[in-house]
Amino acid sequence: MRLRRRLGRSSIEVSPIGLGCWQFSQRKNLAGGFWESVPADVVQEIVQTSLDGGVNWFDTAQVYGNGRSEEMLAEALKACGKAPGDVVVATKWWPTLRCACNIKSTIGERLERLGGFPIDLHQVHQPLSISSVEAQMNAMADLVEREQIRTVGVSNFSTSRMRDAHAFLAMRGIPLVSNQMPYSLLDRRIESNGLLAAARELGITLIAYSPLAQGLLSGKFHDDPDSINSRPGPRKWMPSFKEKGLKRTWPLIKLLREIADAHGVSSSQVALNWLVTFYGDMVVAIPGATRSSHAKDNVGAMAFDLSHKELQAIDRASRQLM
């Protein structure tokens, strides 16, 4: 596996696996309540383990703890000896009940919370805004031209919205470099709804979030179904974590374990490796971590290669669940 790939049609190179930092929200606000609070020293360990394993980019957002995730990430990077420019930092603007002018009025706060680390990728977090896509992209383009951000991406944008965003930025001579979407072996909607094909056509990188289906693909909840009941957030009420859902996905988990055993790795690592390999360099993933052991498992996904036969077998097993 190549350890660096271009982020869309930009000069930025990122590792196939990045680190999603939603978990660093410290249980601030509704979004932060999805995860347990991670102490600062553990956040530092997670970041250091990720760096040691070859990760060179980190994804956070305004809405993750009202900026607390951004602060925790910056503090951890500094504690790990990293300076601005040493790593790639991505964050996201939250558009709900806000107009496009808010993108520019909040950029100072984003930069302040990131403690001097520049914003290499700034993304519109989701499409629900009171402003048009055109207005949002023009606001982002203004920030690029002022050198307050380096590149522009979107998140949770449909195929048509992504095409619109790409077109409006192109009018300003700026590429849309990424679209961040839910994508895993248990959620492959982007393959059937035209989004993946459009991204390939336009040279847009797809950033897969929830690449392990919120932990399901690790198999740990299949081994201990009751363990979900002690976890914070709404996962415990989701059908996929119930007995029927776990039984349905067991054949895929079993195959992942068989392949993992053959490589001396974990099921999670096989699932992540498949995700960032099957469609070449156009997909990267941002698994999260609440412990350094999780981060170690994440980066291990970049340390081996799946055979064509294994990739196809996983593909077939996954498609049977669609």
The DSSP string of 71-122 is: HHHHHHHHHTT--TTSSEEEEEE--TT--THHHHHSHHHHHHHTTT--EEEE
**Strand, helix or coil for residue 133:** helix
Percent of the chain with pLDDT strictly greater than 70: 93
- Residue 271's contacts (CB-CB under 8 Å, 6 or more residues apart) are 184, 185, 211, 212, 217, 218, 256
Select from 257, 206, 212 the least CA-distant residue to 235: 212
In tens, the pLDDT along 217-229 reads 998 878 766 666 6
Radius of gyration of the chain (CA): 19
Active-site residues, by number, are 64
* DSSP character at residue 219: S
Q: Give the C-alpha separation, 47 to 40, whole Å.
A: 11
H/E segment holding residue 300 = helix 292-300
Q: Give the C-alpha separation, 10 to 51, whole Å.
A: 22
pLDDT band at 232 (very low <50, low <70, confident <90, very high): low
pLDDT band at 278 (very low <50, low <70, confident <90, very high): very high
Mean pLDDT of 65-94: 97
Domains for the chain: give ranges and CATH numbers. 5-214+266-305 (3.20.20.100)
In tens, the pLDDT along 160-184 reads 999 999 999 999 999 999 999 999 9
User: In Å, what is the CA distance from 23 to each residue of 9, 59, 62, 291?
Assistant: 29, 11, 13, 10
Residues in the chain: 322
For the ranges 33-37, 110-114, 295-299, the lowest mean pLDDT is seen at 33-37
β-strand pairing of 13-14 with 19-20: unpaired
- The alpha-helical segments, DSSP class H, found in 159-264 are 159-170, 189-192, 195-202, 220-223, 243-263
Report if pTM > 0.85.
Answer: yes
- The alpha-helical segments, DSSP class H, found in 147-242 are 159-170, 189-192, 195-202, 220-223
Q: In this predicted structure, what is the pLDDT of residue 28?
A: 72
Mean pLDDT of 7-15: 98
Instruction: List residues bridging with 151 in a β-sheet.
Output: 121
Instruction: List residues bridging with 220 in a β-sheet.
Output: none
Task: Copy the structure tokens of residue 305.
Answer: 């290669």
Task: Tell me, rounded to whole angstroms, the distance of Cα 229 from its chain centroid.
Answer: 25
Q: Give the C-alpha separation, 113 to 108, whole Å.
A: 9
Q: Does residue 29 surpass a pLDDT of 60?
A: no
